[in-house]
Structure 1
Amino acid sequence: MVTALDGFLDAGSAAGLAIAHLLESSPGRVVASFEVDEFYDYRARRPPMSFVQDHYSDYEAPRLVVRLMRDDRRAPYLLLTGPEPDVRWEAFAEAVRAVVEHFAVRLTVSMGSVPMAVPHTRPVQVTNHATAKRLLVSENVWQGEIRIPSSAQSLLELRLGEWGHDATGFVAHIPHYVAQFGYPEASAAMLRQVGAVTGLQWDTAELDAAAAQRQAEIAGQVEDSDEVRAVVAGLEQQYDAFHRDDSGYGGGPNMLEAEDGSLPDSADLPTGEELGAQFEQFLAGLDQSDDE
Structure 2
Amino acid sequence: MIDPRLLYELDPELWERMAGKQPVLIHLLEGYVDAGQTGRALARHLQAHSEHETLVRFDHDVLHDYRSRRPVITFDTNTWKSVSHFALEISVGTDTRGQEYLLLTGPEPDVQWDRTVAALNHLVTGLDVSMVVTAYGAPMAVPHTRPTLITAHSTDPSRVTDNPRMVDRVDVPASFSAYWELALGSHDQLAMGFAALVPHYLAQATFHQSVVTVIERINAETGLALPTTDLQERVEANLAEINAEMNGSPEVLEVVSSLEAQYDAMQAAPEEYLPSAEELGAEFERFLADQAKDDE
TM-score normalized by the length of structure 2: 0.81
Q: 1:53 aligns with which of 59, 73, 77?
A: 77
- In 2, the alpha carbon distance for the partners of 1:86 and 1:152 equals 9
How many pairs are equivalent? 253
**Aligned counterpart, 1:95:** 119
8 Å Cα contact 1:109/1:167 also seen in 2: yes
Q: Secondary structure of the residue that 1:47 maps to in structure 2?
A: coil
8 Å Cα contact 2:49/2:227 also seen in 1: no
Q: 1:146 aligns with which of 167, 170, 191?
A: 170
Shift of 1:27: 3.8
Q: 1:204 aligns with which of 228, 243, 264?
A: 228
8 Å Cα contact 2:50/2:95 also seen in 1: no
**Aligned counterpart, 2:38:** 14
8 Å Cα contact 1:115/1:174 also seen in 2: yes
Shift of 1:237: 1.1
- In 2, the alpha carbon distance for the partners of 1:9 and 1:126 equals 15
* CA offset digits 1:110-169 (Å, max 9, x no partner): 111111111111110111100012433x51111631112211000000001112211111
Q: Secondary structure of the residue that 1:173 maps to in structure 2?
A: strand
8 Å Cα contact 1:120/1:175 also seen in 2: yes
8 Å Cα contact 1:160/1:166 also seen in 2: yes
- In 2, the alpha carbon distance for the partners of 1:93 and 1:76 equals 23
8 Å Cα contact 2:51/2:94 also seen in 1: no
Residues 150-165 of structure 1 correspond to what in structure 2 (within 5 A)? 150-165=174-189
- In 2, the alpha carbon distance for the partners of 1:42 and 1:111 equals 25
- In 1, the alpha carbon distance for the partners of 2:176 and 2:218 equals 20
AA at the equivalent of 2:163: N
Q: Secondary structure of the residue that 1:109 maps to in structure 2?
A: strand
TM-score normalized by the length of structure 1: 0.82
Residues 158-237 of structure 1 correspond to what in structure 2 (within 5 A)? 158-237=182-261
Shift of 1:52: 2.4
- In 2, the alpha carbon distance for the partners of 1:146 and 1:114 equals 13
8 Å Cα contact 1:32/1:99 also seen in 2: no
AA at the equivalent of 1:100: V
**Aligned counterpart, 1:285:** none
Shift of 1:64: 0.4
**Aligned counterpart, 1:242:** 266
- In 2, the alpha carbon distance for the partners of 1:197 and 1:60 equals 35
8 Å Cα contact 1:67/1:78 also seen in 2: yes
Shift of 1:44: 0.9
AA at the equivalent of 1:53: T
- Point out which structure has higher relative CO (alpha carbons under 8 A, 6+ apart): 2
Shift of 1:17: 0.7
8 Å Cα contact 1:31/1:67 also seen in 2: yes
- In 1, the alpha carbon distance for the partners of 2:50 and 2:228 equals 15
* CA offset digits 1:75-104 (Å, max 9, x no partner): 011001100111222122111111101211
AA at the equivalent of 2:156: A
- In 1, the alpha carbon distance for the partners of 2:204 and 2:106 equals 19
- In 2, the alpha carbon distance for the partners of 1:63 and 1:239 equals 40
8 Å Cα contact 1:117/1:235 also seen in 2: yes
- In 1, the alpha carbon distance for the partners of 2:123 and 2:266 equals 41
8 Å Cα contact 2:151/2:195 also seen in 1: yes
Q: Secondary structure of the residue that 1:56 maps to in structure 2?
A: strand
- In 2, the alpha carbon distance for the partners of 1:178 and 1:115 equals 8
- In 1, the alpha carbon distance for the partners of 2:101 and 2:77 equals 43
